[in-house]
């Protein structure tokens, strides 16, 4: 016994920034961005807070699940950075939803946050730590810590929040998480503060990335992680209805799809409209598909992500 996905919800910032808009900020153009990444627009935080989006997404998921906040046994926040350094996003969301008391904490799996949080939630259900419902809230504001003078990174990311409510069930067939700890290819340094007792770094606290290295890691690990969960569950690729893959770059998704020998319609995307929303990427796609009626009851989903860590992971879920 682990869980079933009882409800999904999402929320994105109102401000939509096009590639042409970005061409007025850095030296870039629509053709480069579309050809190299598949991104046309992204939603960027401006007047709203990430907390507001996270709370809206959570309320939508609770409503879809028919679960009240007081029934939550656990809240897991998946984020790399939110409105507060402390407390955890999960605690901030819990305060807004009401009904405190349940444990609430964040995990930082980079862009693999949704898959990592599913893996942890399953263990809570399996060991009796959760018996009624668990909320996973994935919320990211990467546009707040990209360097807006670096065209190689600032065009890639968008902001958003997406949540799922899990209730007891047997939907999770397998998970696999892989870490190759190395900050070099993708990192953002934390600000060092102004302690009079330490040397304060001059290095800038923005996202720095070796795009090509992350690209190779992504394609290799998407394929190997998905293959591992299919093997664990004794499922053939043909039996998987949809592959919900981290929306970081359309070329990465295409390369993985070709290696796995699957047709394009099994790899839905929304990167065109949102860019890379890190941990929120897969649940945002899931929520859109659910609300559009594009996920049948009993559909078999393979979710797979990769990112800072470097971490990657996959989860196989029967809806
Ligand atoms: O969630 C995980 C996070 N990260 C990722 O998934 C990223 C994975 N990597 C990628 O998606 C790709 O590597 C990028 C989209 C980041 C870059 O694509 P690329 O095909 O690897 O391009 P590149 O970095 O090799 O750059 C090619 C050229 C360079 O010019 P030169 O040296 O060939 O003259 C760059 O300066 O493209 C130039 N360039 C740009 N040109 C116009 C880099 N960014 C831009 C830009 N507009 N925004």
pLDDT in tens, 270-288: 999 999 999 999 999 999 9
Residue corresponding to tokens 């190759």: 180
Q: What is the mean pLDDT of residues 155-164?
A: 98
Q: How far is the CA of 213 from the centre of ligand 1 (A)?
A: 11
149 pLDDT more than 90: yes
- How far is the CA of 61 from the CAs of 4, 119, 122, 227, 303, in angstroms? 13, 19, 18, 30, 18
What predicted TM-score, i.e. pTM, was given to this entire model? 0.97
pLDDT at 196: 85
E strands present in 123-253: 133-141, 159-169, 172-179, 186-188, 207-209, 242-245
Ligand 1, atom nearest to 251 Cα: 11
Q: Coil, strand or helix: which one is 215? A: helix
pLDDT at 102: 95
Q: How far is the CA of 258 from the centre of ligand 1 (A)?
A: 21
pLDDT at 197: 87
pLDDT in tens, 219-270: 999 999 999 999 999 999 999 999 999 999 999 999 999 999 999 999 999 9
The strand pairing partners of 138, in sequence order, are: 78, 162
pLDDT in tens, 169-178: 999 999 999 9
pLDDT at 201: 65
The mean predicted confidence, pLDDT, of the chain is: 96
- Find, among 29, 57, 43, 8, the residue nearest to 271 by Cα: 43
pLDDT at 206: 94
pLDDT at 1: 84
Q: How far is the CA of 152 from the centre of ligand 1 (A)?
A: 5
CA distance 252 to 254: 5
Ligand 1, atom nearest to 28 Cα: 47
Please give the structure tokens belonging to residue 186.
Answer: 């993708």
Ligand 1, atom nearest to 153 Cα: 16
Higher pLDDT, residue 1 or 107: 107
Mutation to probe ligand 1, out of 112, 152, 218, 278 (largest number of atoms < 8 A from CB):
152
Phi-psi region of 27 (alpha: psi -120 to 50; beta: other; left: phi over 0): beta
- How far is the CA of 160 from the CAs of 56, 174, 235, 281, in angstroms? 11, 27, 32, 8
Q: What is the mean pLDDT of residues 294-301?
A: 95
Lining residues, ligand 1, CB within 6 Å: 28, 32-33, 36-37, 111, 151-152, 155, 209, 211-212, 214-215, 218, 248-249, 276, 307
pLDDT in tens, 59-68: 999 999 999 9
């Amino acid at each position: 016994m682990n869980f079933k996905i009882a409800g999904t919800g999402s929320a994105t910032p109102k401000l939509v920034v096009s590639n042409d808009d970005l061409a007025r900020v850095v030296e870039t153009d629509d053709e480069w961005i579309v050809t190299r990444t598949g991104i046309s627009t992204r939603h960027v935080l401006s007047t709203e807070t990430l907390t507001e989006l996270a709370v809206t997404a959570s309320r939508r998921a609770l409503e879809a699940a028919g679960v009240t906040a007081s029934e939550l046994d656990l809240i897991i926040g998946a984020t790399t950075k939110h409105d507060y350094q402390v407390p955890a996003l999960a605690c901030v969301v819990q305060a807004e939803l009401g009904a405190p008391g349940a444990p609430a904490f964040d995990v930082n799996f980079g862009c693999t946050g949704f898959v990592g949080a599913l893996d942890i939630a399953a263990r809570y259900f399996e060991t009796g730590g959760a018996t009624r419902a668990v909320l996973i809230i994935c919320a990211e504001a990467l546009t707040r810590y990209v360097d807006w003078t670096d065209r190689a990174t600032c065009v890639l990311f968008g902001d958003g929040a997406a949540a799922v409510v899990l209730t007891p069930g047997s939907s999770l067939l397998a998970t696999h998480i892989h870490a190759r700890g190395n900050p070099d290819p993708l990192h953002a340094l934390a600000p060092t503060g102004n302690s009079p007792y330490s040397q304060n770094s001059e290095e800038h606290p923005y996202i720095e990335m070796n795009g090509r290295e992350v690209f190779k890691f992504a394609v290799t690990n998407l394929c190997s992680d998905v293959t591992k969960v299919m093997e664990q569950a004794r499922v053939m690729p043909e039996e998987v209805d949809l592959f919900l893959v981290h929306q970081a770059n359309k070329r990465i998704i295409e390369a993985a799809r070709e290696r796995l020998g699957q047709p394009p319609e099994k790899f839905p995307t929304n990167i065109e409209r949102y860019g890379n929303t890190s941990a929120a990427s897969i649940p945002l796609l899931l929520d859109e598909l659910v609300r559009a009626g594009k996920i049948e009851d009993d559909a078999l989903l393979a979710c797979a992500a990769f990112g800072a860590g470097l971490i990657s992971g996959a989860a196989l879920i029967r809806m």
